[in-house]
């Protein structure tokens, strides 16, 4: 096919005219493989994912990953047919074009595609069976020809990677390599293999091991094949040494990532070592490259051969940081890297004296190297000669003399040594020495370094955790009070002749002393000192600091964190410490933070504190507004979003929850794709250690992210309670959202449940979809399976955290929450599918369950038992009431199963038996547990109501609506409550359920009533009136009231809809 036929398609794609590109590509004959590849790409870009998958399946066919994705996205038998695309209809029309030429006839329709990709399978099969690879998955299908055209392969690879099918993209190049092993194909096959290793898997555990074993072994083969090809061709982009390095790294990955295999463990270590040593031998006489030595080091470290690596480093001449001439592996190791590696290797072979001498040599060049100082101490501790470190550090400090800028490292090592002796022998003398060391360091560096307290915090813990905490507390507090008096800006403001630099030193020392005081008071609750400064004094100090640190107006200066910001945080901490439950104190704190943020808008710690305070005041929408000003991006979404994510759910901001969680999932999707790409680039550049770092980080951190797991579960919970916009008044600047149950998404017992269930089921094994938490939960058989979940949260951002702050969720609590959400939403999916298959009685008789209904019933009941056995964490909000709600939910499900398909194993199965059994379950199980739940949840806080609604109430309400629908189908509807026992039981349950929801509505009403009573009543002494302005307090008060109304508007309408439905069961029989 000439390029003239393809050029218009490329033009349409470049111009984002995807419908036109589809139409043009459809006009090409079936034999044009590149045209069909462009058609698949155009389908994908136009949002027709299924059509793209069908087209790719025609081109490639037989790829397990593509086939599984096509199967999951295809409708099941008896579902409505997909609409035929307009372009396809035109393609089938016969006739002449404007130029009189006949248009080609498209014989393949979307209808035939559907038939070809669906089987007689149950929807439950898709839910219950995690996909696995077939036995010969890696082999090319016999009916397909190998594609070897570079343009076609590149087009297919781009489309497949956009569809998140990296294994299929790898396979098409692997098959091309088997037929035409060119350098381009071999290199592309290797880099696409890295993409497979970087991506999370949709397969079961056994299949994942098969795929990774095959991929890694093939990467090694491809690299060796590339090395031979390069030698044969002579000149090439890739050198044989680089290809050998690839093979060595692939062998190392097999040893690190694959399960233990005796044969593999015998062969690969020696093979990898021999290839690495060969690369080193080829660099004899040159400055050896760092990457080769680091690669060799990783291999020998895996085999526990530190002596061999030490011998290699000692044989090298002194390296210089210049790239060897013609080296494919970049620069050589620096002298510092070589020496530190030697020291660590000497430590591994227990030659601590040699390691100590190396550290001393390095410290002679840089006495402030904390890593070397710690290494020196560790070596001396091993040979019980810590005094050597003491004398060595003493010499460094003596040489330093009375320097204007003393080095922190040696002085901090003095504190480290004191802590070491105190931990070895915790007597009065050692603890006194530790306290003296802390005070000495504080005197020296408190005025000089803002990080002085962070340096000492762990050592202060050692002192305060000693047997007599009050003695250590008294010493430190007395020192802190004296330090504050000496460096107070307020007491010296009138007579001071200090310049800005000296004033800044005073400010640092004052803040250091205040942090030390608050640390001591937090540890020793029984100790108190009346002479410490109150919170208003701290604000006064901050006001003076503002005047001395006015910005010069430049952009860089505006972005700086102001030195007095910590005083605002410390003042709030002290205020809340004295009044932890006082609403006025919280409003005062919020107003202080508002003013501080105006003055220092780029300080994230002020914003984190304000988010916490506003959430405590049930004004979570203000926390969300502040969070958005932080502009967190990329990895920060995974590591820092934990500061707001729980607040959004407990504040009723379900739309915002989904917005944030979706941004996290998008980041993880892009990160997985980019990891394979950048790892491949690093391998091509010879930076093997960086490629290893990329892949290890992606596989161990990103693919197992705790935050990602939590986000998936929260999306499922929040989807059913998304708010919808309401008409905005002219006076309102922002759009208000009105809570609505199941308006757009979610299984809520409505008419759209089955259609939504079909759509949702297609995504449960997509690792980048929120619904994959359902398949993850099903795969977790034991708590020991939780071990591979990685907590990437960065708690260092909460260095400001107060004693009164909202508690953080623990890792195990988040995992159990995700497990609960996965099982509950899996149950809802199965319930929707089960209810769709129930048939009503005919002529007063029920029919026996057919094969399909029986399969649905069995799967549904298995899921019910799993949910009923869930263990809730005691620290979870409303955990006691949640347990009873889950038990009530399980009873509803059992009643639904009995009504819909009868009792398993019961000989007589009629209407009366089903009605009686269902009634007993409702009365003796569900209703009893619902009453207990109401008792446990009575007078719940607003946070508990907002949390319980999507987590427990909505699933229970949805299943109750399903049961009501089925009962109505069997003639036991709500209007038969006086004549039918089952209808009467349903009415009783509805009444009790309605009473519990009315209690929740009362809690939400109290939120608005308390808003009316909010006032700023905190009295300030006259001399501090200029610290705080009434307009800020009033503005903060108004913002809190409006934010509480936002929460009420999101939650109360949903509760009201539930009440309206439940009250309909009070209608008497006509």
pLDDT at 340 over 80: yes
Let me know if 946 is exposed, middle or buried by CB neighbors in 10 A (0-12, 13-18, 19+).
buried
Q: Are 245 and 177 within one domain? A: yes
| Angle, helices 240-257/654-684, rounded to nearest 10 degrees | 140
Q: What residues pair up with 739 in beta bridges, in sequence order?
A: 723
Nearest to 332 by CA among 277, 283, 278, 365: 283
Burial of 785 (0-12, 13-18, 19+ CB in 10 A): middle
Helix, coil or strand: residue 842: strand
pLDDT per residue over 964-1000, tens digit each? 999 999 888 887 777 788 889 999 999 999 999 999 9
Query: What are the CA-CA distances from residue 374 to residues 371, 406, 457, 649 (Å)?
Result: 5, 19, 17, 44
CB 279 within 8 A of CB 244: yes
In this prediction, residue 140 carries a pLDDT of: 72
Position 287 pLDDT exceeds 70: no
Give the C-alpha separation, 1003 to 369, whole Å: 58
Q: What is the mean pLDDT of residues 334-356?
A: 93
Residues of the chain with pLDDT > 90, as a percent, come to 53
The parent domain of residue 197 ranges over 122-150+167-259
Taking the C-alpha atoms of residue 627 and residue 643, their distance in angstroms, rounded to an integer, is 9
Structure tokens at 501: 């630099």
Residues 54 and 140 in one domain: no
In a domain, 882, yes or no: no
| Residue at a domain's end among 217, 234, 259 | 259
- Does residue 131 share a domain with residue 8? no
State the pLDDT at residue 929.
95
Cα 541 to Cα 563: distance, rounded to the nearest angstrom: 11
636 burial (CB, 10 Å; 0-12 / 13-18 / 19+) is: middle
Q: Is the dihedral of CA 820, 825, 826, 830 positive or negative?
A: positive
- Looking at the fold, whether 183 and 235 belong to one and the same domain comes out as yes
The pLDDT of residue 802 is: 63
State yes or no: pLDDT of 704 exceeds 60. yes
| Cβ-contact 435, 472 below 8 angstroms | yes
252 in the same domain as 126: yes
Structure-block tokens of residue 426:
């915790």
Residue 785: what pLDDT? 66
Asked if 514 contacts 484 with a C-beta cutoff of 8 angstroms, the reply is: yes
Tell me which range, 138-142, 435-439, 1010-1014, is most confidently predicted by mean pLDDT: 435-439
CA-nearest of 638, 699, 643, 639 to 663 is: 638
One DSSP character per residue, 820-884 reads HHHHHHHHHHHHHHHHHT----BTTBPPPP-HHHHHHHHHHHHHHHHHHT----TTSTTHHHHHH
Instruction: Kindly state whether residues 140 and 224 are assigned to the same domain.
Output: yes
Rounded to whole angstroms, the Cα distance separating 120 from 76 reads 8
CA–CA dist 962, 868 (Å, integer): 18
Give domain status of residue 874, yes or no: no
* Number of C-beta neighbours around residue 881 at 10 A: 23
Q: Are residues 226 and 198 in the same domain?
A: yes
Q: Minimum mean pLDDT among 393-402, 476-485, 968-977: which range?
A: 968-977
pLDDT band with cut points at 50, 70 and 90 for residue 1063: very high
- Six token digits for residue 197: 């290793």
- Tell me if 251 is assigned to some domain: yes
**Domain match, 215 and 135 both:** yes
Max avg pLDDT among 73-82, 287-296, 505-514: 505-514
In a domain, 587, yes or no: no
- Assess whether 195 and 146 both reside in one domain: yes
φ, ψ of residue 787 in degrees (nearest 5): -65, -25
**What region does 95 belong to: left with phi over 0, alpha with psi -120 to 50, or beta?**
left
| β-bridge pairing 723-725 and 737-739 | antiparallel
How far apart are alpha carbons 405 and 501 in whole angstroms?
14
Q: What is the pLDDT of residue 108?
A: 37
Instruction: Tell me if 49 is assigned to some domain.
Output: yes
**Terminal C-alpha separation, the chain:** 75
Closest to 695 measured CA to CA, from 220, 255, 214, 198: 198
> Measured over all CA atoms, what is the biggest interatomic distance in the chain, rounded to whole angstroms?
105
From 195, 229, 259, give the residue that closes a domain: 259
Rounded (5°) CA angle 470-473-475? 115
Least confident of 310-314, 516-520, 875-879: 875-879
Task: Look at phi and psi of residue 1018 and say left if phi exceeds 0, alpha if psi is from -120 to 50, else beta.
Answer: beta
Strand partners, 1066: none
State whether residue 1066 is helix, strand or coil: helix
Q: Are 215 and 170 in contact (CB under 8 A)?
A: yes
Give 978 or 748, the one with higher predicted confidence: 748
CB of 416 closer than 8 Å to CB of 459: yes
Asked if pLDDT for residue 924 goes beyond 80, the answer is yes
112/132 same-domain check: no
C-alpha to C-alpha distance for 68 and 70, rounded to whole angstroms: 5
Residues 39 and 9: their CA atoms lie apart, in Å, by: 9
pLDDT above 70 as % of the chain: 85
On whether residue 254 sits in a domain, the answer given is yes
Q: Residue 22: which of 74, 79, 90 has the closest Cα?
A: 90
Q: Is the pLDDT of residue 509 over 90?
A: yes
The two tokens of residue 531 are 């002479």
Name the residue with higher pLDDT: 105 or 28.
Answer: 28
Q: For 799-844, write each residue's pLDDT tens digit.
A: 776 666 778 889 989 999 999 999 999 999 999 999 998 888 887 7
Is 202 within a domain? Answer: yes
The residue among 259, 278, 293 that closes a domain is: 259
Please tell me whether residue 156 adopts helix, strand or coil conformation.
Answer: helix
Residues near 886 by beta carbon (within 8 Å), at least 6 away in sequence: 867, 868, 870, 872, 952
Q: How far is CA 176 from CA 38, 73, 681, in A?
A: 19, 28, 21
**Same domain as 210, residue 136:** yes
Gap between the Cα atoms of 878 and 810, Å rounded:
16
Answer yes or no: do 129 and 240 share one domain: yes
For the stretch 658-696, pLDDT in tens is 999 999 999 999 999 999 999 999 999 999 999 999 999
| DSSP β-bridge partners for residue 723 | 739
Q: Average model confidence (pLDDT) for the chain?
A: 84
Contact in structure between 303 and 273 (CB atoms under 8 Å): yes
Give residue-wise pLDDT tens across range 132-150.
Answer: 888 888 877 765 678 889 9
Q: How many domains is the chain partitioned into structurally?
A: 2
609 close to 573: Cβ distance less than 8 angstroms: no
DSSP structure string for 371-413: HHHHHHHHHHHHTT-HHHHHHHHHHHHHHH-S-SS--HHHHHH
Strand partners, 705: 790
Write down the pLDDT at residue 84: 38
Residues 512 and 452 sit within 8 Å (Cβ to Cβ):
yes
Q: Is the pLDDT of residue 784 over 70?
A: no
In this predicted structure, the answer to whether residue 82 has a pLDDT above a threshold of 70 is no
Amino acid 134: pLDDT: 86
Q: What are the C-alpha distances in Å from 287 to residues 460, 746, 845, 885?
A: 47, 63, 90, 70
Locate all alpha helices (DSSP H) within 96-239, ordered by sequence. 110-117, 123-128, 150-162, 166-179, 183-198, 205-233
Whether 120 has a pLDDT exceeding 70, the answer reads no
15-42: pLDDT as tens digits: 999 999 999 999 999 889 999 999 999 9
Per the domain annotation, does 614 fall within a domain?
no
Residue 875: per-residue pLDDT: 66
CA dihedral of 395, 398, 404, 408, whole degrees rounded to 10: 30
């Amino acid at each position: 096919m000439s390029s003239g036929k393809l050029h218009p398609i490329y033009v349409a794609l470049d111009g984002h005219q995807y419908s036109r590109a589809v139409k043009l590509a459809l006009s090409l004959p079936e034999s044009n493989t590149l045209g069909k590849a462009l058609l698949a790409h155009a389908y994908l870009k136009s949002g027709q994912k299924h059509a793209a998958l069908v087209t790719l399946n025609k081109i490639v066919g037989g790829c397990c990953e593509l086939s599984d994705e096509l199967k999951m996205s295809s409708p099941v038998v008896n579902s409505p047919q997909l609409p035929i695309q307009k372009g396809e209809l035109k393609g089938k029309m016969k006739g002449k074009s404007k130029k009189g030429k006949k248009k080609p006839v498209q014989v393949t329709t979307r209808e035939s595609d559907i038939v070809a990709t669906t089987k007689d399978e149950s929807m439950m099969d898709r839910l219950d069976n995690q996909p696995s690879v077939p036995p010969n998955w890696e082999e090319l299908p016999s009916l397909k020809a190998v594609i070897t055209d570079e343009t076609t392969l590149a087009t297919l690879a781009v489309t497949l990677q956009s569809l998140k099918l990296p294994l299929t993209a790898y396979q098409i190049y692997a098959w091309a390599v088997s037929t035409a092993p060119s350098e381009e194909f071999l290199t592309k096959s290797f880099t696409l293999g890295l993409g497979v290793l970087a991506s999370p898997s949709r397969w079961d555990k056994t299949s994942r091991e098969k795929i990774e074993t095959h991929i890694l072994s093939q990467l090694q083969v491809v690299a060796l094949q590339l090395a031979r090809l390069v030698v044969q061709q002579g000149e090439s982009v890739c050198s044989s040494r680089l290809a050998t390095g690839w093979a060595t790294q692939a062998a190392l990955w097999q040893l690190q990532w694959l399960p233990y295999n005796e044969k593999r463990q015998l062969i690969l270590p020696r093979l990898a070592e021999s290839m690495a040593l060969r690369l080193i031998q080829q660099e004899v006489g040159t400055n050896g490259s760092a990457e080769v030595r680091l690669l060799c080091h990783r291999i020998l470290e895996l085999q526990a051969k530190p002596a061999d690596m030490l011998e290699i480093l000692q044989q090298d001449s002194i390296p210089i940081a210049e790239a060897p001439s013609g080296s494919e592996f970049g620069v050589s190791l620096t002298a510092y890297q070589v020496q530190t590696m030697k020291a660590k290797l000497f430590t591994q072979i227990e030659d601590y004296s040699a390691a100590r001498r190396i550290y001393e040599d390095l410290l002679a060049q840089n006495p402030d190297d904390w890593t070397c100082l710690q290494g020196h101490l560790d070596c001396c501790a091993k040979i019980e000669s810590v005094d050597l470190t003491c004398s060595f550090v003493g010499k460094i400090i003596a040489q330093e003399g009375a320097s204007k800028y003393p080095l922190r490292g040696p002085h901090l090592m003095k504190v480290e040594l004191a802590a070491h002796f105190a931990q070895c022998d915790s007597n009065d003398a050692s603890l006194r020495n530790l306290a003296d060391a802390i005070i000495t360091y504080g005197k020296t560096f408190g005025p000089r370094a803002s990080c002085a307290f962070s340096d000492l915090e762990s050592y202060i813990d050692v002192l305060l955790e000693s047997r007599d905490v009050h003695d250590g507390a008294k010493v430190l507090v007395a020192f802190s009070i004296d330090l504050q008096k000496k460096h107070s800006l307020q007491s010296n403001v009138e007579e001071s002749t200090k310049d800005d630099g000296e004033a800044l030193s005073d400010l640092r020392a004052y803040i250091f002393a205040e942090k030390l005081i608050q640390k001591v008071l937090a540890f020793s609750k029984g100790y108190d000192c009346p002479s410490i400064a109150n919170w208003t004094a701290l604000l006064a100090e901050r006001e003076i600091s503002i005047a001395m640190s006015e910005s010069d107006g430049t952009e860089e200066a505006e972005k700086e964190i102001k030195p007095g910001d910590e005083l605002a945080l410390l003042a709030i901490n002290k205020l809340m410490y004295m009044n932890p439950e006082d609403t006025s104190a919280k409003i005062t704190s919020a107003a202080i933070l508002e003013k501080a943020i105006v003055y220092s808008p780029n300080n994230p710690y002020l914003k984190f504190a304000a988010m916490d305070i506003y959430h405590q005041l049930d004004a979570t929408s203000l926390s969300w507004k502040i969070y958005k000003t932080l502009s967190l991006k990329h990895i920060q979404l995974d590591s820092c979003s934990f500061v707001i994510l729980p607040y959004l759910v407990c504040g009723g901001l379900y739309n915002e929850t989904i917005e944030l969680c979706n941004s996290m999932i998008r980041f993880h999707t892009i990160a997985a794709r980019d990891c394979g790409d950048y790892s491949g680039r690093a391998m091509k550049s010879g930076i093997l250690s960086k490629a290893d770092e990329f892949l290890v980080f992606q596989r161990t951190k990103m693919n197992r992210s705790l935050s990602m797991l939590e986000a998936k579960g929260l999306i499922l919970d929040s989807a059913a309670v998304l708010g919808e916009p309401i008409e905005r008044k002219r006076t309102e600047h922002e759009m208000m959202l009105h809570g609505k149950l199941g308006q757009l998404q979610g299984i809520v017992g409505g008419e759209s449940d089955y259609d939504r269930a079909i759509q949702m089921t297609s995504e449960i094994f997509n690792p980048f979809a929120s619904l994959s938490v359902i398949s993850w939960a099903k795969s977790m058989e034991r708590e020991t399976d939780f071990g591979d979940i990685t907590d990437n949260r960065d708690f260092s951002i909460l260095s400001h955290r107060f004693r009164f702050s909202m508690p953080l969720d623990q890792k195990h609590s988040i995992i159990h929450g995700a497990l609960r959400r996965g099982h509950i939403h899996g149950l809802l999916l199965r319930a929707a599918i089960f209810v769709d298959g129930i048939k009503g009685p005919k002529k007063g008789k029920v029919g026996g369950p057919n094969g399909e209904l029986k399969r649905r019933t069995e799967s549904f009941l298995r899921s019910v038992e799993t949910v009923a056995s869930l263990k809730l964490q005691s620290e979870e909000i409303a955990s006691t009431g949640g347990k009873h709600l889950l038990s009530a939910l399980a009873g509803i499900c059992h009643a639904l199963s009995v009504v819909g398909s009868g009792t398993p194993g019961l000989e007589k199965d009629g209407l009366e038996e089903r009605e009686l059994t269902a009634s007993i379950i409702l009365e003796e199980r569900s209703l009893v547990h619902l009453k207990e739940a109401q008792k446990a949840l009575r007078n719940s806080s607003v946070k508990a109501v907002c949390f319980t609604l999507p987590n427990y109430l909505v699933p229970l309400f949805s299943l109750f609506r399903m049961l009501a629908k089925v009962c109505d189908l069997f003639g036991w509807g709500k209007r038969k409550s006086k004549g039918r026992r089952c209808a009467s039981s349903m009415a009783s349950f509805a009444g009790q359920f309605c009473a519990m929801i009315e209690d929740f509505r009362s809690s939400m009403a109290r939120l608005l009533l308390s808003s009316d009573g909010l006032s700023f009543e905190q009295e300030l002494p006259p001399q501090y009136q200029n610290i705080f302005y009434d307009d800020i307090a009033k503005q903060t008060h108004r913002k809190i009231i409006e934010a509480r109304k936002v929460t009420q508007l999101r939650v109360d309408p949903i509760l009201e809809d539930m009440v309206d439905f439940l009250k309909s069961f009070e209608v008497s029989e006509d």
